[in-house]
Amino acid sequence: MKKIIVASKNPVKIQAALQGFQEMFPSEVFEAEGISVASGVSDQPMGNAETFLGASNRVQAAQQAMPNADYWIGIEGGNIATENAMEVMAWIVIRTATRTGKARTAGFFLPPRVIELVEQGYELGEADDIVFGVANSKQTGGSSGLLTDNVMTRLRFYVPAVILALIPFKKQELY
């Protein structure tokens, strides 16, 4: 059994990591464990670079905290503000002792009321909870789930990027 350390206690991130590994390597057996580590960036990362840095910092901290695992994975969600719009995306960084893989999720755009709250300093999950009248949405369907009536849950949003970040591990001879 191969051990994956997820640099978060968020159950959606843990499940996304496990599911991505299982889909990419169906003949192997994995277990995933989440640990709480600091991202070293804002609670609500803004921009591509800060979000990538958060995922990278998380995976490095997880590797230092739990050095005996087979894989470490950092998943960091962030927002990219553009003129009159705000895109939601996430970075995935996966590491072993000798290799690193990385990928970004697709992106989607937030409604104006959610953007207003994020610009006032709320974390996206908090803003979603206020606008949609729910609690702890970031540990369930997330923004994508709320905006699509759970057609695209946060789990479903993350898994493809986990799979893409695993390409260097699947095709080692090319990387």
At 77-120, the pLDDT tens digits run: 999 999 889 999 999 999 999 999 999 999 999 999 999 999 99
Answer yes or no: is pLDDT of 139 > 90. no
At 7-24, the pLDDT tens digits run: 999 999 999 999 999 999
Residue 57, Cα to own-chain centre: how many angstroms?
13
- Looking at residue 83, its pLDDT comes to 87
- Looking at residue 138, its pLDDT comes to 85
Class of CATH domain 2-174 = alpha beta
Tokens 């949405």 label which residue?
137
Q: How confident is the model at residue 137 (pLDDT cuts 50, 70, 90)?
A: very high
d(CA 10, CA 45): 17
Q: Are 109 and 85 in contact (CB under 8 A)?
A: yes
- Looking at residue 34, its pLDDT comes to 98
Q: Are 163 and 23 in contact (CB under 8 A)?
A: yes
At 39-77, the pLDDT tens digits run: 999 999 999 999 999 999 999 999 999 999 999 999 999
Three-class DSSP category at 120:
coil
Question: Given CA atoms 164, 165, 168, 170 in this order, what sign does their dihedral have?
Answer: negative
Q: Are 118 and 124 in contact (CB under 8 A)?
A: yes
Residues 6+ apart with CB under 8 A from 55: 39, 74, 75, 76, 90, 91, 92, 93, 102
- Looking at residue 101, its pLDDT comes to 98
**For the purposes of burial, counting CB atoms within 10 Å of the CB of 172, is it exposed (0-12), middle (13-18) or buried (19 or more)?**
exposed
- Which sequence spans correspond to the domains of the chain? 2-174
Quote the pTM value.
0.95
